[in-house]
Chains A and B, each alone.
Chain A
Amino acid sequence: QQQVKQSPQSLIVQKGGISIINCAYENTAFDYFPWYQQFPGKGPALLIAIRPDVSEKKEGRFTISFNKSAKQFSLHIMDSQPGDSATYFCAALTQGGSEKLVFGKGTKLTVNP
């Protein structure tokens, strides 16, 4: 019930291409879905987040698409750049609960120049 499944495990994209990372959840009590970006040796940094009352949120080159009925959400990185090479984690949280984030296992993105 607490699991968040993330795919793919790794992704290689050419510069300028679109990177797509998918996540699925089972617990319908989740109501906040952030994405984190982590570089080697660093802590995760919040990238973008969405709540289930909207189906899409865009910030610059980063877009979250959310499908409540399918219990899936995805991160799209447009015009991918070598500097985007990092590990990306999706997560989910229940508001008003213990506030603990449940993370996917991560996607290692490599953007080739």
Chain B
Amino acid sequence: NAGVMQNPRHLVRRRGQEARLRCSPMKGHSHVYWYRQLPEEGLKFMVYLQKENIIDESGMPKERFSAEFPKEGPSILRIQQVVRGDSAAYFCASSPSEGLVSADTQYFGPGTRLTVL
């Protein structure tokens, strides 16, 4: 059973370009979460999605950032017109849709490390 997959693992962009980060949840998981980690910091929640729905985007900047989780395919975190402050590791996590215990358990992918030049 493959874990959460993220690609690319490393992404370099120049200021003003767009960054697209992809996340494929674990098999059977329909909940996806995106977190951002700055150097020497903990992870900060950005957005929580279920298939075709954004449930909570309270941690995501209102401008330049968007996320989707289509019916088919991976979840995408999109950052438009990147700035140096967007440089960070972006982690995706997934959890099952049902289950007494597992619904609270989020399994993390390896992350995408974004560097903005």
Q: Which residues of A contact B (CB under 8 A)?
A: 6, 32, 34, 36, 41-46, 49, 89, 93, 95, 98-106
Contact = CB atoms under 8 A, between A and B. Distances in A.
Contacts, number: 66
Interface residues of B, number: 28
B105 A34 contact: yes
Interface of B: 4, 6, 31, 33, 35, 40-45, 48, 55-56, 58-59, 91, 93, 95, 103-111
23 contacts: A6-B42, A32-B104, A34-B105, A42-B111, A43-B4, A43-B108, A43-B109, A43-B111, A44-B43, A46-B105, A46-B107, A49-B105, A98-B56, A99-B56, A100-B48, A100-B56, A100-B58, A101-B33, A101-B45, A101-B93, A103-B35, A103-B44, A106-B42
Contact of A99 (B43, B91, B95): B95
A32 to B, nearest CB: 5
B62 to A, nearest CB: 17
B59 to A, nearest CB: 7
A46 to B, nearest CB: 6
Q: Which 7 A-B pairs have the closest CB atoms?
A: A98-B56, A103-B42, A43-B108, A100-B45, A105-B42, A32-B104, A103-B43
